[in-house]
């Protein structure tokens, strides 16, 4: 007989997950208009109030390259303020459970984070990133892989000495938008290297939506065979082919418990244009059509996981409301379907019912919940040729 219990089929699949939000950093970094500091503060607060405990606040890299993050210190100061801490207390939120992350691709940004930490406004967690495909890595960091690994080793020591932890990201796992196909074994080795030099956890990233569900399951199974503690691993999927929800499911089936997403599916490379002015960013974009860029949407991912019966700690309805607000902030329709269609409601949407069904059933002599003609057997008598074949 077929096994119908999903968790018996996939025994590694978790009953509880952590979904971190990276809207204000990864989501906003690709926008070609400056998102106001007031708006960033609003979404940071509201995401935390809606259940987020792992949130990317900003990028501490050069504001010349990425002017979207020229307000980095103001955002961190706001989240470290007594006023915000009191807001959390009033809402029953343990402030100590909130992990504030800042991106620090280069060592100079790590040095900046250390200084902010000394001033009492620094993040809890930093992030550096390698790509297994070196052309992609060079486009992001401006240096070679061997040189960057040595830089990361120095930076992690500075980070840990300052009381922060480092997340090491591995990118181009399933393919590179520049160099093409890659070998997943390289990514597994890179993940182990991060831990060897002192990283706290690892983000496994599909930065251009190359992944297929089968390869996602295969890769994370390989990773967990080599590094079995699921707390160390974070899945990061971009959406370019409308198949990233399948990647989320495949990662769950493999046993991954940590995921990242953005409201509206925002995200992508740092913008090379802001407001009315070209900016450096990381150079030319890797795509021809901006409609096909971004991450998995927080709204849709939450609905997917919630309806699977997996615990997540978020207020889903509040997140759907936030997604609608963000469309006004950004000024265009974003990528979440759940924002429009909502959740699957057990009670249905009776406002769409056509009038007259009850009267029609009464006229025909049917009971209110009758679904088959009177006199039919309770169970269908399936014709012999359609029945399962006996062994």
Written in H, E and C, the secondary structure of 236-257 is: EEECCCCCHHHHHHHHHHHCCC
Number of folded domains that form the chain: 2
Q: What single string gives the DSSP state of each residue in 47-101?
A: HHHTT--EEEEEE-S-TTT-GGGTTHHHHHHHHTSHHHHHHHHHTT--GGG-EEE
Q: In this structure, is residue 46 part of a structural domain?
A: yes
Q: State the residue for tokens 């994370």.
A: 220
Minimal CA–CA distance to 36: which of 81, 44, 265, 101?
44
Angle, vertex CA 97, rays to CA 93 and CA 100, nearest 5: 110
- Rounded Cα gap, residues 233 and 227, in angstroms: 9
Pair 214, 102 in one domain: yes
Q: Are 297 and 336 in contact (CB under 8 A)?
A: yes
Residue 353 backbone dihedrals phi, psi, to 5 degrees: -65, 140
Minimal CA–CA distance to 258: which of 14, 12, 10?
14
Q: In this structure, is residue 6 part of a structural domain?
A: no
Pair 278, 300 in one domain: yes
Structural domain harbouring 379:
350-386
pTM as predicted: 0.94
Pair 271, 370 in one domain: no
Task: Please report, in angstroms and rounded to a whole number, the separation of the first and last CA atoms in the chain.
Answer: 11
Minimal CA–CA distance to 50: which of 349, 326, 314?
314
Minimal CA–CA distance to 33: which of 336, 330, 382, 270?
330
Predicted local confidence at residue 301, as pLDDT: 98
Q: What single string gives the DSSP state of each residue in 336-383?
A: -SHHHH----TT--GGGPPTTHHHHHHHTT--TT--S-TTS-SS----
Structure tokens at 84: 């915000």
Q: In this structure, is residue 5 part of a structural domain?
A: no
Q: In this structure, is residue 1 part of a structural domain?
A: no
Q: In this structure, is residue 9 part of a structural domain?
A: no
Minimal CA–CA distance to 175: which of 263, 94, 100, 286?
286
Last-in-domain residue among 307, 322, 341: 341
Predicted local confidence at residue 126, as pLDDT: 98
Minimal CA–CA distance to 101: which of 32, 190, 200, 193?
200
* Residue 291: CB atoms within 10 Å: 8
Pair 232, 359 in one domain: no
Angle, vertex CA 364, rays to CA 361 and CA 365, nearest 5: 85
Predicted local confidence at residue 140, as pLDDT: 87
* Residue 357: CB atoms within 10 Å: 10
Pair 197, 169 in one domain: yes
- Rounded Cα gap, residues 266 and 26, in angstroms: 8
Sign of the torsion angle spanned by Cα atoms 369, 374, 380, 383: negative
Q: State the residue for tokens 């992350």.
A: 101
Pair 290, 358 in one domain: no
Q: In this structure, is residue 72 part of a structural domain?
A: yes
Pair 381, 260 in one domain: no
Q: In this structure, is residue 3 part of a structural domain?
A: no
Pair 271, 150 in one domain: yes
Predicted local confidence at residue 199, as pLDDT: 98
141: three-class secondary structure by DSSP: helix
Predicted local confidence at residue 148, as pLDDT: 98
- Burial tier of 278 (Cβ tally within 10 Å: 0-12, 13-18, 19+): exposed
Predicted local confidence at residue 391, as pLDDT: 72
Pair 267, 357 in one domain: no
Pair 167, 316 in one domain: yes
Q: In this structure, is residue 92 part of a structural domain?
A: yes
CATH of the domain at 158: 3.20.20.70
- Rounded Cα gap, residues 139 and 82, in angstroms: 40
- Rounded Cα gap, residues 338 and 140, in angstroms: 32
Reading phi first (left if > 0) and then psi (alpha if -120 to 50, else beta), residue 331 is in left
Pair 266, 139 in one domain: yes
Pair 367, 285 in one domain: no
Q: What is the pLDDT along the chain (391 residues), one digit of tens a residue?
A: 789 999 999 999 999 999 999 999 999 999 999 999 999 999 999 999 999 999 999 999 999 999 999 999 999 999 999 999 999 999 999 999 999 999 999 999 999 999 999 999 999 999 999 999 999 999 889 999 999 999 999 999 999 999 999 999 999 999 998 999 999 999 999 999 999 999 999 999 998 888 999 999 999 999 999 999 999 999 999 998 889 999 999 999 999 999 999 999 999 889 999 999 999 988 888 878 877 789 999 999 999 999 999 999 999 999 999 999 999 999 999 999 999 988 888 888 888 899 999 999 999 999 999 999 999 999 999 999 999 888 7
């Amino acid at each position: 007989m077929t096994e119908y219990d999903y968790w018996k089929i996939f025994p590694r699949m978790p009953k509880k997950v952590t979904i971190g939000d990276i809207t204000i950093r990864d989501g906003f970094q690709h926008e070609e208009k400056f998102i106001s500091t007031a708006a960033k503060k609003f979404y940071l607060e509201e995401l935390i109030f809606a259940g987020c405990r792992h949130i990317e606040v900003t990028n501490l890299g050069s504001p010349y390259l990425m002017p979207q993050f020229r307000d980095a210190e103001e955002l961190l100061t706001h989240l470290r303020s007594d006023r915000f801490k009191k807001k959390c207390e009033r809402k029953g939120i343990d402030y100590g459970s909130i992990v504030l992350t800042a991106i620090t691709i280069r060592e100079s940004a790590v040095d900046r984070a250390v200084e902010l930490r000394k001033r009492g406004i620094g993040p809890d967690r930093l992030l550096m990133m390698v790509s297994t495909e070196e052309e992609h890595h060079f486009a992001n960091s401006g240096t070679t892989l061997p040189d960057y690994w040595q830089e990361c080793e120095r930076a992690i020591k500075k980070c840990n000495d300052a009381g922060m932890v480092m997340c090491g990201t591995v990118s181009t796992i399933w393919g590179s938008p520049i160099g093409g196909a890659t070998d997943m074994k390289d990514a597994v080795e890179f993940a182990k290297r991060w831990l060897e030099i002192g990283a706290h956890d690892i983000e496994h990233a599909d930065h251009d939506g190359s992944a297929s569900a089968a390869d996602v399951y295969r890769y994370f199974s390989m990773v967990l065979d080599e590094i079995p503690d699921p707390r160390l691993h974070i899945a990061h999927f971009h959406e370019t082919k409308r198949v990233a929800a399948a990647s989320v499911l495949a990662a769950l089936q493999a046993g991954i418990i940590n995921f990242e997403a953005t409201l509206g599916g925002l995200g992508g490379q740092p913008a090379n244009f802001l407001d009315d002015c070209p900016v450096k960013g990381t150079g030319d974009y890797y795509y021809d059509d901006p409609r096909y860029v971004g991450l998995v949407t927080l709204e849709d991912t939450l609905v997917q996981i919630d309806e699977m019966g997996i615990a997540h700690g978020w207020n889903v309805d509040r997140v759907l409301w936030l997604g609608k607000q963000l469309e006004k902030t950004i000024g265009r329709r974003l990528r979440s379907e759940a924002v429009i269609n909502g959740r699957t409601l057990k009670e249905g949407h009776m406002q769409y019912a056509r009038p007259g069904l009850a009267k029609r059933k009464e006229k025909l002599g049917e009971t209110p919940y009758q679904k088959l003609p009177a006199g039919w057997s309770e169970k269908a008598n399936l014709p012999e040729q359609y029945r399962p074949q006996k062994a």
